[in-house]
């Protein structure tokens, strides 16, 4: 990174206070002699009010929490940078999208929506995907989600929708879950939700990693070039590692075993130098084509199929630095869809228009007043000069007599900037009409794209969607709500509704299923990149393991950027066949199968007996098998797989189940390790699901 790239980092550095052999002081800079005892009358009390150090310390502590975000309360952030592959000057004058020599610093926050700040990472939910670009022309925030559409069409319904999905008012149950009556009541009464519900019932709502999910700006935005010409644009983020999901049963177990699963994954990847990368994609439409689709491009419940409007890859975001302090950075970052730079503008999407109000408004409560833009993480790198003054927690000291425009006493300082010198000018869109509370008829079709989504899924994804509906509706107490949901989704696809109905004791409805808008292969996760890089393997072994095998395995895994934990019966170093000691990172007590992508059992008679002596070992392998993970065993390790029922397939024809690799003594070598790594790259062996049905 050159100096220019580092501007944001340098700005943040100015606020970092590192304790390095420093004296302990009060907030007034007074050195503290005793931080262990409060001031008392004699050693047994009472405590005296005069103890200003005690009072200051306790008062600060008493006020250390701020209101959590009303939605997206649980999140995790990281720093990074954006590089542009080619100039987009044809479409936009935004400097960071036209100058390929720039490296734009940025901050990302990923989040869940419904849960409170302390809820689990792996719940079924949409993920927020918010990016703040610190550009030379001011902050640009792309505040998106990991799904390209939204539940509702008009912002006025957002409070209703969120009230319905949040825990129910009488008892604040359930936490971070849409599997309850009010949510599904809302869905059944507001059919514009149908398309988004299909996404939320799919694996997209259960990301394996923040590093393995797509991001979308959702709304149609506008690019404006130097000549003032506009284009419609949709934004995409495409992860280099592909798009992959967890299994529902697994997500629920992880929620208990490691509620920080996704944030830990991101933190560790960055700490290890496996910097997550996402390419920026744009879909562009000419203004003249605004009405050439069978949906309205201003309707946020619709996407532009990539097969019709291709995604052009134009740049890359790399996340390369963890935060120094979660609260100061991730908790205090304030995104706003209205933070914009010249060359980017809004459209009349009624969902977007409402968001333009909400994001600043919510910070006033959350961050305690109008000066939140002065918090280090929110400060632009572009200079800030205006006549705003005062307010809670004002940091800037503005000298001078004037704080108004126009003025003569300070020569009209700060001065307005003409558009051709970088001053922001709103796109001069012509609008006319009557003021009415209404929605355009062009927003009326709620089902064709939901149907397109369903018909674009692989059979495995379809079966997961059906199971998700059955689970969610199975938790709904009201039979009438369950039935209404079946009725609604019969308008998406009859087969889908019938399968849901069977699972929840409702009556299948003969609906008038919508014709799918088209099939869009890009919607299926099965079509995405596959790689073993950055995956995590549990290597199970016991006394007498073959040192040469394990050393060669670990070398092969490292070369493929796969990380491994040695899992043994306890944390006592394990002796190999040549006497080498290896230190386990986890024991069968501390490790959980759901926290790994694959399992390798290194087999040697004594070691396998040792593992089998703890019943948890078979459970560990069985769970990995049930979650479609790659499992490999060498030599005697097959006995552990047998104990876990992981070596016989459902057909009973003697073939190994898909994704289960076995090697006898003589087969252990480079090519076995290569097959193991290739199998890990598959992410999951979903066909096992169909094999077992």
Binding residues for ligand HDE, rule: CB under 6 A, are 69-72, 75, 109, 111, 128, 130, 143-145, 150, 155, 158, 218, 300, 334-335, 351, 354-355, 358-359, 362
Determine if residue 42 is left, alpha or beta; phi over 0 gives left, psi from -120 to 50 gives alpha, anything else beta: left
Separation CA 461–CA 526 (nearest Å): 9
Structure token pair of residue 2: 């050159």
- Cβ distance to ligand HDE smaller for residue 69 or 446: 69
- Under 8 Å CB-to-CB from 5, ≥6 apart: which residues? 81, 103, 105
111 vs 682, beta carbon nearer ligand HDE = 111
* Separation of alpha carbons 111 and 125, rounded Å: 10
Sign of CA pseudo-dihedral 51, 52, 55, 58: negative
Catalytic residue among 53, 72, 195, 627: 72
The nearer residue to ligand HDE, 109 or 302, going by C-beta atoms, is 109
- The contacts of residue 395 (CB under 8 Å, 6+ apart) are 371, 374
CB 679 within 8 A of CB 530: no
Handedness of CA 322, 325, 331, 335 (dihedral sign): negative
Question: What CA–CA distance (Å, rounded) separates 254 from 260?
Answer: 9
Beta carbon of residue 143, minimum distance to ligand HDE (angstroms, whole number): 5
Intra-chain end-to-end CA distance of the chain, in Å: 53
Angle of helix 459-474 relative to helix 248-257, nearest 10 degrees, comes to 60
Of 142 and 631, nearer to ligand HDE (C-beta) is 142
In degrees, to the nearest 5, what angle opens at C-alpha 501 toward C-alphas 497 and 504?
140
* Min separation Cβ 458 and ligand HDE, Å: 26
Active-site residue, selected from the candidate residues 145, 262, 339, 371: 145
Question: Which residue number, 150 or 625, has a Cβ lying nearer to ligand HDE?
Answer: 150
For residue 72, indicate whether it is catalytic: yes
Nearer to ligand HDE, 75 or 230 (CB): 75
Least separation in angstroms between CB 163 and ligand HDE = 13
Distance CA 379, CA 373 (A): 6
CB of 240 to ligand HDE, least distance (A): 21
Least gap, CB of 118 to ligand HDE (angstroms): 16
Q: Any idea what the Cα angle at residue 92 is, between residues 91 and 96, rounded to 5°?
A: 130
Q: Which is nearer to ligand HDE, 132 or 688 (CB)?
A: 132
DSSP string, 565-586: EEEESSSSPEE-TTS-EE--SE
Min separation Cβ 312 and ligand HDE, Å: 20
Q: Is the dihedral of CA 46, 52, 54, 60 positive or negative?
A: positive
Nearest CB to ligand HDE, comparing residues 130 and 566 = 130
Q: How far is the CB of 188 from ligand HDE (least distance, A)?
A: 20
Q: Which residue is nearest to ligand HDE (CB)?
A: 128
Query: Hey, what long-range contacts does 259-262 have (CB within 8 A, 24 or more apart)?
Result: 259/119, 259/120, 259/121, 259/122, 260/121, 261/120, 261/121, 261/122, 261/595, 262/76, 262/110, 262/121, 262/122, 262/207, 262/209, 262/210
Residue 218 Cβ vs ligand HDE, minimum distance, rounded to whole Å: 3
CA separation for the pair 367, 70 (Å, rounded): 12
The C-alpha atoms of residue 604 and residue 416 are separated, in whole angstroms, by 77
Q: Which residues are catalytic?
A: 72, 145
């Amino acid at each position: 990174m050159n100096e220019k790239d580092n501007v944001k980092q340098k700005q943040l550095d100015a606020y970092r206070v590192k304790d390095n052999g420093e004296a302990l002081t009060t907030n007034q800079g007074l050195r503290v002699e005793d931080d262990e005892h409060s001031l008392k009358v004699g050693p047994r009390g009472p405590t005296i009010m005069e103890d200003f150090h005690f009072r200051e310390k306790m008062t600060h502590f008493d006020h250390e929490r701020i209101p959590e975000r009303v939605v997206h309360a649980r999140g995790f952030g990281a720093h990074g940078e954006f590089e542009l592959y080619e100039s987009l000057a044809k479409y936009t004058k935004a400097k960071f999208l036209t100058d390929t020599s720039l490296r734009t610093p940025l901050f990302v926050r990923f989040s869940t929506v419904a849960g409170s700040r302390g809820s689990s990472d792996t719940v079924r939910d949409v993920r927020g995907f918010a990016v703040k670009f610190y550009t030379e022309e001011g902050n640009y925030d792309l505040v998106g989600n990991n799904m390209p559409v939204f539940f509702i069409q008009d912002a006025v319904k957002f409070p209703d929708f969120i009230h319905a999905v949040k825990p129910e008012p009488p008892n604040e149950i359930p936490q971070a879950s849409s599997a309850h009556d009010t949510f599904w009541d809302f869905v059944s009464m507001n059919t514009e939700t149908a398309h988004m519900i299909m996404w939320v019932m799919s694996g997209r709502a259960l990301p394996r990693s923040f590093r393995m999910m797509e991001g979308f700006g959702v709304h149609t935005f506008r690019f404006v070039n130097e000549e003032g010409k506009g284009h419609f644009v949709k934004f995409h983020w495409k992860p280099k590692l592909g798009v992959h999901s967890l299994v529902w049963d697994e997500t629920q177990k992880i929620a208990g075993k490691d509620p920080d699963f996704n944030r830990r994954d991101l933190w560790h990847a960055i700490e290890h130098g496996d910097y997550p990368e996402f390419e920026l994609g744009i879909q562009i439409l000419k203004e003249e084509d605004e009405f050439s689709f069978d949906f309205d491009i201003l309707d946020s419940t619709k996407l532009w199929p990539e097969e019709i409007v291709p995604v052009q890859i134009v740049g890359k975001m790399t996340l390369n630095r963890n935060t120094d302090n979660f609260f100061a950075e991730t908790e205090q970052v304030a995104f706003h869809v209205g933070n914009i730079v010249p060359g980017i503008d809004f459209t009349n999407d009624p969902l977007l228009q409402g968001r333009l109000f909400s994001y600043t408004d919510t910070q006033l409560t959350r961050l305690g007043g109008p000066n939140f833009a002065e918090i280090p993480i929110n400060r632009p790198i572009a200079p800030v000069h205006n006549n705003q003054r005062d307010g809670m927690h004002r940091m800037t000291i503005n000298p001078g007599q004037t704080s108004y425009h126009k003025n003569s006493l300070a020569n009209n300082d700060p001065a307005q900037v003409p558009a051709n010198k970088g001053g922001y000018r709103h796109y001069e869109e012509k609008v006319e009409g009557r003021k009415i509370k209404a929605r355009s008829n062009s927003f009326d079709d709620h089902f064709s794209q939901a149907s397109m989504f369903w018909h674009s899924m692989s059979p495995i994804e379809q079966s997961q969607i059906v199971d998700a509906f059955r689970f969610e509706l199975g938790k709904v107490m009201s039979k009438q709500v369950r039935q209404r949901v079946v009725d609604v989704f019969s308008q998406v696809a009859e087969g889908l509704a019938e399968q849901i109905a069977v699972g929840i004791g409702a009556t299948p409805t003969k609906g008038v299923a919508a014709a799918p808008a088209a099939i869009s292969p890009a919607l299926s996760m099965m079509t995405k990149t596959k790689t073993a890089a950055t995956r995590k393997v549990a290597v199970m072994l016991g006394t007498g393991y073959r040192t040469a095998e394990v050393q060669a395995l670990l070398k092969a895994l490292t070369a493929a950027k796969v990380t491994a934990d040695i899992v043994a019966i306890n944390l006592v170093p394990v002796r190999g066949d040549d006497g080498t000691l290896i230190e386990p990172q986890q024991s069968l007590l501390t490790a959980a199968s759901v926290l790994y992508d694959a399992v390798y059992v290194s087999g040697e008679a004594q070691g396998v007996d040792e593992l089998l002596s703890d019943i948890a070992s078979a459970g560990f392998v069985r769970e990995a098998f049930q979650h479609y993970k790659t499992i490999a065993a060498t030599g005697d390790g097959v006995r552990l797989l047998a104990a876990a029922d992981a070596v016989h397939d459902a057909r009973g024809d003697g073939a190994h189940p898909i994704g289960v690799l076995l090697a006898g003594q003589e087969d252990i070598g480079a090519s076995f390790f290569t097959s193991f790594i290739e199998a890990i790259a598959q992410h999951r062996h979903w066909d096992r699901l169909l094999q077992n049905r």
